[in-house]
């Protein structure tokens, strides 16, 4: 039902459109100079694989978090606003099972959103740019299939990087019957974290912000691959998911859904 909704399809369509327009713009203009523009964009003209990675770098700050915020914020509040939450709980499923089912769907959406960006980027990259040996960020070359596999792995890392934000969205969704409020709170959390992440005076907070390691997937394009920051990211997302998921569960199991 989630993937069948018009707004979710529109969000996925937007995520497909970004890599296509990005590749078209680079193709028509020749791309930025070396080290100019978003990450990986200057390498896109050399190999289509980098179009997918540049698309991830472009969509990570706003488009993917926005999509996750909409789906997560609507997960419980949307049912409450439509009056269907009470009917769902009439079934002998239990509140915990309903919340876990919603969480599983939101987590699946996180993965699908990132994969959609990468696959659209790969297709657009192959359509506009050459492909073959991929030059890594370390200066070595790897086969195209290896580069393609690393791009898919990067998508999975990015999808998992959204788990903390998804938990925040579901937490907000259990405290209100207005989906737009939960969505706004979730997007607000992204904005606040991103601002704090760019302020050097609060550098001690940076390792604890769920946005801090969002671009760690770039380490997959080094030779050998570096995983230290990726594991830090996954551990941090797990901590956020555990904390906000627990609070959401406590709220969900005690809230009055008949009011």
SS3 134: strand
142 beta partners: 134
Q: How confident is the model at residue 31 (pLDDT cuts 50, 70, 90)?
A: low
- Give the pTM: 0.91
pLDDT of the residue at 35:
55
Query: Which element (helix H / strand E) includes 76?
Result: helix 63-82
Distance CA 190, CA 170 (A): 14
Q: For the chain, what are the domain ranges? A: 6-252
Q: Are 9 and 17 in contact (CB under 8 A)?
A: no
Whether residue 46 is predicted with pLDDT greater than 90 in this model: the reply is no
- Euclidean distance between CA atoms 154 and 170, whole angstroms: 25
Question: Cα–Cα–Cα angle for 170, 172, 177, nearest 5°?
Answer: 100
- In a 13 Å sphere around the CA of 254, the CA atoms on its Cβ side amount to 7
Tell me the average pLDDT across 45-57.
Answer: 87
- Residue length of the chain: 259
pLDDT-wise least confident of 53-57, 78-82, 143-147, 226-230: 78-82
Query: Nearest CA to 19 among 126, 163, 136?
Result: 126
Count helices and strands (H / E) in the chain.
9, 2
Give the range among 155-164, 223-232, 237-246 with minimum mean pLDDT. 223-232
pLDDT in tens, 217-230: 999 988 888 899 99
From the CA atom positions of the chain, what is the Rg in Å? 20
Any bridge partners for residue 210, and if so which? none
203 has pLDDT over 60: yes
* pLDDT for res 119: 96
Paired residues of 135 in beta bridges: 141
The CA angle 82-190-64, to the nearest 5 degrees, is: 70
What pLDDT digit, counting tens, does each position of 60-76 carry?
989 999 999 999 999 99
Spatial separation of the C-alpha atoms in residues 142 and 237, rounded to whole Å: 30
pLDDT value of position 34: 55
Write down the pLDDT at residue 259. 47
The predicted model gives 144-158 an average pLDDT of 94
pLDDT at 140 over 90: no
Q: Is the pLDDT of residue 149 over 60?
A: yes
């Amino acid at each position: 039902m989630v993937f069948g909704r018009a707004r979710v399809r529109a969000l996925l369509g937007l995520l497909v459109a970004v890599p296509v327009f990005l590749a078209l713009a680079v193709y028509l203009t020749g791309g930025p100079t070396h080290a100019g523009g978003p990450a990986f964009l200057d390498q896109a003209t050399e190999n289509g694989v980098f179009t997918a990675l540049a698309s991830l770098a472009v969509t990570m700050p706003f488009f993917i978090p926005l999509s996750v915020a909409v789906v997560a914020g609507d997960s419980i509040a949307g049912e409450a606003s439509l009056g269907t939450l009470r009917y769902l709980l009439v079934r002998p499923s239990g509140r915990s099972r309903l919340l876990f089912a919603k969480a599983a769907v939101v987590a699946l959406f996180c993965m699908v959103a990132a994969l959609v960006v990468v696959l659209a980027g790969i297709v657009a990259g192959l359509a506009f740019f050459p492909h073959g040996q991929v030059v890594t960020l370390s200066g070595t070359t790897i086969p195209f299939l290896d580069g393609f596999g690393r791009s898919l792995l990067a998508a999975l890392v990015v999808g998992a990087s959204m788990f903390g934000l998804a938990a925040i969205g579901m937490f907000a969704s259990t405290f209100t019957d207005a989906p737009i409020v939960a969505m706004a709170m979730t997007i607000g959390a992204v904005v606040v974290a991103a601002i704090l992440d760019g302020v050097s005076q609060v550098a001690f907070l940076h390792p604890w912000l769920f946005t801090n390691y969002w671009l760690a997937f770039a380490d997959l394009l080094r030779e050998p691959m570096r995983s230290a920051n990726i594991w830090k990211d996954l551990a941090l997302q797990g901590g956020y998911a555990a904390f906000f998921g627990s609070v959401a569960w406590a709220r969900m199991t005690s809230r009055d859904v008949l009011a």
